[in-house]
Amino acid sequence: MLGRVNHIAIAVPDLAAAISAYRDTLGAVVSAAQALPEHGVTVVFVELPNTKVELLEPLGEGSPITAFLEKSPAGGMHHICYEVADLLAARDQLVASGARVLGNGDPKIGAHGKPVLFLHPKDFFGTLIELEQV
């Protein structure tokens, strides 16, 4: 079911400072910021040869990242995103196996313009998992 790691997401309290650290200190290529109101975040992607790192900060009231940053004010790993060939088939197989899909179970469009779903972290050893159809 799982394909390659698409990205690892890090929640940050200050996106500009995080961009500077990755671009200026680490010498990485960082994408332009993208607001994703449906997900309540603003994101950038750090481009690496084998994957990406997504830096995300809260966008607007009620952002799911706000609660995460209240528990971890300096930021930290938020989720890992795996690619899947067929998101709906993966969802159905996971639900049949007892895994919980967050939200109503319908995919949303993610930062790459592709359908995504999130799986409950309690079902995967404390790790929030995002699945992205490729």
User: What positions carry a catalytic annotation?
Assistant: 130
Side-chain-side CA neighbours of 34 within 13 Å: the count stands at: 16
Burial class (CB in 10 A: 0-12, 13-18, 19+), 1: exposed
Burial class (CB in 10 A: 0-12, 13-18, 19+), 51: middle
Only one residue has tokens 């607007």, namely 60
d(CA 126, CA 29): 30
**Contact of 132 with 116, CB cutoff 8 Å:** yes
Which H helix or E strand runs over 17?
helix 15-20
